[in-house]
């Protein structure tokens, strides 16, 4: 179950987006979800969302189950179409739109390694095949993800062992310059 705010009311919905309850009181242990925008919510009817948001309801259920399993309580949960981002104090975790159980299992040991570092943890491309995770030290609200080819645009790389568990001390830095900055430097040096 998840919750959004519609017309100053908390609207609780299930994995199909069916509205189960509307109230002025926030229930504990039910995550508030940002990014699902609707103008009205009728009891026992599906939330009227665009096509891009239809799968997000089942994604939220799967994600929430995994969060509970690992005792994780994000400060914010943000949906952008089917993709999900989690905010924990000074860190943002990009989860993407699938394989939430595997990805969420990576969060506790990685957070332990990162300590108080602030930034964005890119788990959106993590899978059984792609075991590389990047962390970008930047403001979590200024999220920068990997480009469409899977190349890291900036950040640190966290190497993973085949089982998908973190290797001890395997943080290696990658370029922290934006592609535009690199292009500008090349142009400047050519002139």
State pLDDT tens for residues 39-52.
Answer: 999 999 999 988 76
The answer to whether residue 181 scores a pLDDT higher than 60 is no
CA distances from 163 to 34, 45, 157 (A): 33, 42, 17
CB 63 within 8 A of CB 84: yes
CA distances from 33 to 1, 75, 80, 86, 90 (A): 10, 10, 11, 10, 18
pLDDT digits (tens, 9 = 90+) for 118-138: 999 999 999 889 999 999 998
Scan for tokens 């592609």, then name that residue: 179
The pLDDT value recorded for residue 142 is 62
Structure tokens given for 126: 């993590």
- Residue boundaries of the structural domains of the chain: 74-185
């Amino acid at each position: 179950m998840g919750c959004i705010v519609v017309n100053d009311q908390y609207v609780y919905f299930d994995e199909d987006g069916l509205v189960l309850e509307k109230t002025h009181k926030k229930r504990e242990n039910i995550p508030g979800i940002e990014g699902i925008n609707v103008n009205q919510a009728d009891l026992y009817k599906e939330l009227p969302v665009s096509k891009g948001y239809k799968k997000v309801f089942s994604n939220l259920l799967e994600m929430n189950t995994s969060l509970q399993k690992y005792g994780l309580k994000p400060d914010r949960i943000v949906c952008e179409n089917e993709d999900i981002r989690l905010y924990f104090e000074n860190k943002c975790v990009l989860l993407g739109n699938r394989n939430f159980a595997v990805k969420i299992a990576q969060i506790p040991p990685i957070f332990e390694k990162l300590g108080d570092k602030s930034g964005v943890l890119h788990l959106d491309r993590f899978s059984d095949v792609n075991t590389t995770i990047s962390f970008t030290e930047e403001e979590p609200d200024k999220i920068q993800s990997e480009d469409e080819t899977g190349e890291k645009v900036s950040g640190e790389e966290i190497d993973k062992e085949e089982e998908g568990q973190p290797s001890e001390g395997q943080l290696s830095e990658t370029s922290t310059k934006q592609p535009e900055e690199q292009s500008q430097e090349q142009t400047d040096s050519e002139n």
